[in-house]
Structure formats: C-alpha cells, structure tokens
Structure 1
Amino acid sequence: MFKLRKQLLIGVTALSFAAMGMTAQAQVDGGPGRHAPTPEQQAKFAEKMAKRQAKLHDDLKITSAQEPAWQTFIGKIKPVPPTDKPQRPSKEEWAKQTAPERMEHKMEFLKRAESRLADRTAAVKEFYAALTPVQQKVFDDHFKQMEQHRFGHRGGHRGGPDAAP
C-alpha cells in the first residue's frame, strides 16, 4: 500500500509539473547552504512555465468553450510560493529533536504533501473530463514525456508500468 501511495504521489506531482511546465526547485527555503530564489531566478522560472503552459495549451487545441476549464486548471495547480512554505528546521534544530519529534515533523510534511496532491489530482480529473478523447491522448502523451524527462535522467523510474521485469 505504501509503495502504491508513493508511486501515486510521485506520478501526480509529476503530472502537475508537466501540466504547469515546471521543474522541481532545488533551492526554496532558508536552510543551511540554501537560499530563497532570487528575483532573476523567479522571473526565469515564470518565463519557462509560461512557455510550457502555452505549448500545452496549443498542443491541446483548447477551444473557447474549454478556456474556462483551462484557466481553472492552471489556477488550481499553481506551485506553493516559497514564502507560503513552512520553514524547514535548521541542522542545529533538527539535531536537537528526539526521534519521535523528527518522525512527527516528517509526518506533518507528508500530510501537507498528500493534501496538495489530492487537490492537484482533483484539478487534473476535472480538467481531463472537459477534454475530448483526442485531447486526453495529447495530455497523456505530455505527461508521459514529462515523466521520462524527470525520471529518465536518474536511471529510469523503477516499478512503473513500463519497468522491465
């Protein structure tokens, strides 16, 4: 069950990134050795995201009747801004925590991630239902390409439906 949940979490998160045309941000909060993205980095990220959204919009050939569903979808799967993310404890704070406190911290992180995943899954399902079968195929293809890009450079995604036995 845990493996399925983990794969589902990874898959839908990846779909969100594909649909939004995003890549994971490596440096988001103020832990040691990390910094908040600079305005230049944020602008570059927003530009890439806008280009990828436009490409997906064009590839799907969104009709004027589907435009409200597209706008709702884009609005619902926006990433959490770095300023709205809870701060991670510093190395010193983490080292002072007991094992149960660390586990509680991890559990809270997973609960927030699962909540975001549930919201994005609902948004994807709602938007997907507004697409024609041809558009659904295009959307599926974009998602598959994004998965291959995200997971392929790390030696492939193991345990997925296309994994070798």
Structure 2
Amino acid sequence: MFKLRKQLLIGVTALSIAAVGLTAYAQTDGAKKGPPTPEQQAKFADHMAKMQAKWHDDLKITAAQEPAWQTFIGKIKPVKPAVPPQRPSKEDWAKLTAPERLDHQMEFLKRAETRLAEHTAAVKEFYAVLTPVQQKVFDEHFKRLEQHRFGHRGFHRGGPDGGPDGRP
C-alpha cells in the first residue's frame, strides 16, 4: 500500500512538474522571455488534449465513469493565478539577502505543495472509481511520466526497477 501511495505521489509530482515545465517552456522562445504567444498556447493545449484522449482511451473509461474523468481532468488542469507570482529579475535577486532569498524560495515551495495536495486529492478521488485493471493502466501512465521526467537516470536507484547504479 505504501509503495502504491508513493508511486501516486511521484506521479502527481511528475504531472505537476511537467505542466509547469511545459508552461515555462512555452513561455521561453530562445533568449526572448515573456508570456506565451497564442501559437504556443494552442500547441500546448493541443498536446494536452491528445495526451488526455490517449489516457481516456487506454483506461477504457465507461459512461458511468465519464463524470469522474471530467472532474479529474478539470482538477489537474494547470490554473493560471489571477495575479501570477513575480519572479525577481537577476539584478533584483542578486541584491537580496540570504534570508530574503529563502523567503522567496519558501513561498514558491508553499504554492507547489498546495498544488501537489490538490493534485493528490484529485488522483485519489478518480483512482477510487477505477477498476483494478484500470488502476494498473493508470499506474503505468504515471510510471511513463516519471521515466520521461527523470530520463534515463532512473528514479529508484538500486531498487527493484534498476540495478545498483539505477539503470535497468
């Protein structure tokens, strides 16, 4: 049970990081920084829609499960805050004292923890309506997200999924 809970937490974290990373990637165009262009937003939305459609098909969501699926998708969707947190410029960051930098980092972590708690609750709620077979499919999707996020380095170094150096 603990291993499953740990895998779910890792999966939710990977999804959150992937969503934040894709948003950040969409906002960066080479050396130019700024809000994502409409084309970047459309490309991201298209990618997310395709990924969600694949999950839906792979899970074989039934008509009875469809409301839970829609609720789940709505809850894990990246939400833009009304007032996005301002990141200090490099110049401003360099002027901050160590305690001020740590305060900024703490605020970032608090927001990330809140979002992770929301994602965890959404996954648990949705996971409960899945059949055991669907749960295994869901777990495999999370495992692939984890592998994509952490690359070939592996995540469970020396564990059952990898050798002593973390490689399968």
CA contact (8 A) 2:11 2:145 kept: no
Structure 1 match to 2:3: none
Gaps of 5+ in 2: 1-6
Q: In structure 2, what residue type is equivalent to 1:58?
A: D
Query: 1:48 & 1:120 partners in 2: Cα distance?
Result: 20
Change (3 A) 1:14 1:37: same
Q: In structure 1, what residue type is equivalent to 2:102?
A: M
Query: 2:163 & 2:140 partners in 1: Cα distance?
Result: 20
Structure 2 match to 1:40: 39
Report the more deviating stretch, 72-81 or 9-18: 9-18
Q: What TM-score do the two structures reach when normalised by structure 2?
A: 0.79
Q: In structure 2, what residue type is equivalent to 1:12?
A: V
Report the more deviating stretch, 139-148 or 33-42: 33-42
Q: CA RMSD in A?
A: 2.8
Gaps of 5+ in 1: 1-6
Report the more deviating stretch, 65-74 or 78-87: 78-87
Q: In structure 2, what residue type is equivalent to 1:25?
A: A
What is the deviation of 1:93?
A: 1.3
What is the deviation of 1:149?
A: 1.8
Structure 2 match to 1:157: 155
Change (3 A) 1:93 1:9: farther
Query: 1:10 & 1:141 partners in 2: Cα distance?
Result: 12
How many percent identity over aligned positions? 72
CA contact (8 A) 2:8 2:139 kept: no
Query: 1:101 & 1:141 partners in 2: Cα distance?
Result: 41
Q: What TM-score do the two structures reach when normalised by structure 1?
A: 0.80
Q: In structure 1, what residue type is equivalent to 2:60?
A: K
Structure 1 match to 2:102: 103
Structure 2 match to 1:14: 14
